[in-house]
Amino acid sequence: MANTGKKNIRHLSLSELEHYFEEIGEKKFRTKQVYEWLWQKHAHSFDAMTNLSKELRVKLAEHFILPALKVDATQYSADGTVKSRFRSTDGHMVEGVLIPTDERKTACVSSQIGCSLSCKFCATGYMERKRNLDFDEIYDEVVLINQQSERVYSKKLTNIVFMGMGEPLLNYKNVLKAIEKITSPEGLGMSPRRITVSTAGVAKMIRQLGDDQVRFKLALSLHAANDQKRNEIMPINETNNLKALIDAMNHFYKATGNEITFEYILFKDFNDSLKDADELIKIYRQVPADLVNIIEYNPIDKAAFMKPEEGAVQAFMAYLEKHRVNARLRRSRGKDIDAACGQLANKEVQVG
């Protein structure tokens, strides 16, 4: 995208937009009209703003740009999951997923183009981080997935999870601003209680979420319940160890009272023994977590990890249940189109 020197109109606050219209001698109500086009009617061009005069639309186009994500390719899984590859105005690709169940329609959205964390089991972790997504681009992901949900399932989105590409807490301001727009009555008007931000574990920023009194849920991608194993698969643990994360999550809960979930992918002969389950229980008891999501591993080309045998999975779950851990086994969706947990990597896709 060439730098035209023009400002992205969606980066203006309501009062800045109002000031602009005052300056050019337009009536105050124009601000509300344009704001509605930008955040509720999802206009992707000034020409689409049909209740404005042609002259005003030309003037806006002279002063501002209106970049937006567009769907580049879509794949449909046999289980109903829909994966989209979005193209940014500057030519980058990022993926998002619509995960349907009978009760819920969930958008799994990305927060960065690529990722800098290099988790050993995750396809995105083998990509270079190109840049953060702007808050309006994250908003576009949700809007586009919501439109898919309405088109394919005749239902609006019920939930949003920040579990796509990138680490949300390393794009803190844009993620929070996107959520502010998603939950605002002037935006999509979704309840923050239906939004979950998942982190690989940035202790300082988890504490910041508490200080900022956020209203959404938090999920920690744990995947190993001792520092030695976690260091091996998640390099971020070397600077954000389990003690630091436990302290940060307790701070977050004390400040907000919001729901906390642990995510734990089972890897064959690595973290699927009853000793591993015991270590997981110890962590669970130190944090007021509502739930542990035990996740099926989805193999990727670059990693040597394997999925455990079904017997090992059942034994692990039974051990947690026996020790009164609220755990749920999450079967992965969209595996046939590389849309499952840990598989997002902008592969070449067959366009559906």
State yes or no: is 150 an active-site residue: no
Q: Spot the catalytic one: 18, 95, 137, 263.
A: 95
Q: What does 299-314 look like in DSSP terms, one character per residue?
A: --TT----PPPHHHHH
Closest CA to 68 of 152, 139, 145: 139
Q: What does 61-99 look like in DSSP terms, one character per residue?
A: HHHEE----EEEEEEE-TTS-EEEEEE-TTS-EEEEEEE
Specify whether the CB–CB gap between 290 and 253 falls below 8 A: no
Q: Which residues contact 304 (CB under 8 A, 6 or more apart)?
A: none
Closest CA to 204 of 155, 145, 252, 253: 252
Q: Spot the catalytic one: 108, 115, 119, 341.
A: 341
Sign of the dihedral through C-alpha 170, 173, 177, 180: positive
Q: Up-side HSE of residue 35: CA atoms within 13 Å toward CB?
A: 20
Q: Which residues contact 209 (CB under 8 A, 6 or more apart)?
A: 169, 197, 218, 252, 256
Please list the residues that pair with 172 across neighbouring strands: none
Residue with tokens 């937006």: 68
Specify whether the CB–CB gap between 127 and 94 falls below 8 A: no
Task: Return the CA Rg of the chain.
Answer: 22
State yes or no: is 95 an active-site residue: yes
What residues act catalytically? 95, 341
